[in-house]
A and B are shown apart, each in its own frame.
Chain A
Amino acid sequence: AQSVTQLDSHVSVSEGTPVLLRCNYSSSYSPSLFWYVQHPNKGLQLLLKYTSAATLVKGINGFEAEFKKSETSFHLTKPSAHMSDAAEYFCVVSDSGGYQKVTFGTGTKLQVIP
């Protein structure tokens, strides 16, 4: 069985300061992990994904995430927040082995204060 926990439902940062969105996962197999972003009234867009290659994954718009197996974490970071980063972010886990059934976290809403 797989699960994912996003530890914060809301995060507020000032423009230009670092962003940290936390995600912990549980998986029976070697997982694939993803971060998606959803802007208001839009679909979900892939930010980045981890699939057992490099543990530090770089994504679009300056975001990156580090896979830490010992901590079962996959936190999303960005050095400097931009106003356009305000959105909801979803951490997603998928057990490897051919299954396509993924599990979404409950989402973290990021607010960026000017």
Chain B
Amino acid sequence: DAGVIQSPRHEVTEMGQEVTLRCKPISGHDYLFWYRQTMMRGLELLIYFNNNVPIDDSGMPEDRFSAKMPNASFSTLKIQPSEPRDSAVYFCASSFETDTQYFGPGTRLTVL
């Protein structure tokens, strides 16, 4: 398997623009997670899905953030409008049932 795939790997945008991050989980995995990593706050869980249904979005910082999982092989994390403080590395991870989470390579987002 190719592992968890994220795109783009790097994104530079200007404040106020919409940003969409994409994730393809490992085939057969039924859980999908979005994390954010910053120097100040470390790794934070933003939201996770089980069988395409959002289970816990308590980590989503604001209404500007939204996540969807239209099918088992694709998820998006959208920020609209983006702000400089959203600059971070965003990771997607997937797992099967309650087993180990496998992480993608991350998307480095820079908001100017």
Contacts and interface: CB of A to CB of B under 8 A. Distances in A.
A114 interface: no
Contacts, number: 42
A45 interface: yes
- Interface residues of B, dominant DSSP: strand
B8 to A, nearest CB: 14
- Interface residues of A, dominant DSSP: strand
A22 B70 CA distance: 40
Given A43-B91, A43-B106, A107-B42, A100 B31 contact: yes
Contacts of B31: 100
A45 B3 CA distance: 11
A30 B1 CA distance: 31
B98 A98 contact: yes
Interface string A94-112: 1010111110101100000
Q: How large is the interface on B (under 10, 10 to 19, 20 to 34, 35 or more residues)?
A: 20 to 34
A108 B100 CA distance: 21
A90 interface: yes
Given A44-B103, A99-B98, 17 more contacts: A32-B98, A43-B4, A43-B91, A43-B104, A43-B106, A44-B91, A44-B93, A94-B98, A98-B98, A100-B55, A100-B98, A100-B101, A101-B45, A101-B48, A102-B101, A104-B42, A107-B42
Interface of A: 32, 34, 36, 42-46, 49, 90, 94, 96, 98-102, 104, 106-107
Interface of B: 4, 31, 33, 42-43, 45, 48, 50, 55-56, 91, 93, 95, 98, 100-106
